[in-house]
Amino acid sequence: MSARLVLSDIGASFPAWESAFRRAAPDLALIHDQPSRDLPGLRYCMTWKPLPGVYDRMPHLEALFVLGAGVERFLADATIPPRVQIVKMAEPGLTQAMEHYVLWQVLNHHRRFWELDFAQREARWIDQTYPAPWERKVGVMGLGTLGEAVARRLKSFGFDTRGWSRSAKTIDGVTVFSGTDRIDAFLDGLEILVCLLPLTPETRGVLNADVFRHLAPGAGLINVGRGAQLNEADLLTALDSGRLTAASLDVFAAEPLPAAHPFWRHKRIFMTPHLAADVDPQSSALAIKRQIERFEAGQELEHVADRTRGY
């Protein structure tokens, strides 16, 4: 393969990516982007974050490979010409990391491990009971690359698993609901709700009091989608009233979350700083190499964001 790929805004991690690409795609010529450098004839670019204006320097750019699965900031960047396809990252390292994170937190809610943590700090020897996983109703909102893998993983660990997506689909052993008119049926009586939706106008604020009302009393929430999908005031009210027992949050409306934010000190909120799942350089390099090969062979790119749908 003799194609050229520009790595934009990679900064200090350029050497790590260079060595990943050298192993996965030795024939792909890598270019370390420099501000103000014109890149005529360049068709492929990989980047972490939107770089408004940078695309003027790449008049022949056709595919923008984003080092992440959520591309809402790219879709909001009006300086990306319509001809450029915005490609979401889909690679086994990212998917497996997300499966691990969600499984960890589902087990945390299922077995209430956080109660044991409190008890240890107070030197209390406590007793606990818990249902079998197949008696635990867990639901995953969003059944894309990540949500589907997570739903399958939860099913394989024995949970009574449901999923919800925009379009209808079939996942072995998972009860799937689709469309806005089926959201109530999906939510009804769920004990653990996982959000793996992309951020779009429809999903902004989707985790709100109306949704919490449909869950089983004392349900747990896990948000690994985007912070703006959560109505923060509704979460605090739901935790205070006992409607929800606990929440695991990896993503926040403001990142980094300001130190004065009430979530930091809430006893029933378990937080991680947006690191549920990150891309793996080696398998990402391989995924991008395969995409470029497809494209050069006249095939469609995969995982292209749809500007109309917003994800």
Hey, which residues are catalytic here? 226, 274
* Residues between 42 and 81 that touch ligand OXD (CB under 6 A): 68-70
From CA 127, how far away is CA 120, in angstroms rounded?
12
**With binding defined as CB under 6 A, does residue 193 bind ligand NDP?**
no
Of 2 and 167, CB closest to ligand NDP = 167
Of 69 and 176, CB closest to ligand OXD = 69
Closest CA to 274 of 305, 302, 309, 249: 249
Kindly indicate which of the ranges 3-11, 44-52, 107-115, 141-149 contains the residues binding ligand NDP, using the contact rule CB under 6 A: 141-149
Tokens at 216, concatenated: 């089983």
- The entry of ligand OXD, ligand NDP, none near residue 311 (CB within 5 to 8 angstroms by kind) is ligand NDP
Kindly indicate which of the ranges 51-59, 163-171, 252-260, 263-271 contains the residues binding ligand NDP, using the contact rule CB under 6 A: 163-171
C-beta of residue 222 within 8 angstroms of C-beta of residue 276: no
Beta bridge partner(s), residue 66: 47
**With binding defined as CB under 6 A, does residue 166 bind ligand NDP?**
yes
C-beta of residue 310 within 8 angstroms of C-beta of residue 288: no
Site string for ligand OXD, 74-113 (x = CB under 6 A): ----------------------------------------
Q: How many CB atoms lie within 10 A of CB 48?
A: 15
Of 246 and 276, CB closest to ligand NDP = 276
**With binding defined as CB under 6 A, does residue 87 bind ligand NDP?**
no
Tokens at 145, concatenated: 């690359």
Q: Determine the 3-state secondary structure of 104 from DSSP.
A: helix
- The entry of ligand OXD, ligand NDP, none near residue 144 (CB within 5 to 8 angstroms by kind) is ligand NDP
Closest CA to 51 of 90, 78, 32: 78
From CA 292, how far away is CA 295, in angstroms rounded?
5
**With binding defined as CB under 6 A, does residue 133 bind ligand NDP?**
no
Q: Determine the 3-state secondary structure of 73 from DSSP.
A: helix
From CA 44, how far away is CA 229, in angstroms rounded?
31
Q: Evaluate the CA torsion angle 233, 235, 241, 246 in order and state its sign.
A: negative
Of 93 and 133, CB closest to ligand NDP = 93
The footprint of ligand NDP (CB under 6 A) covers 69-70, 88, 142-147, 164-167, 196-200, 202-203, 224-226, 250-251, 274, 276-277, 311
The footprint of ligand OXD (CB under 6 A) covers 68-70
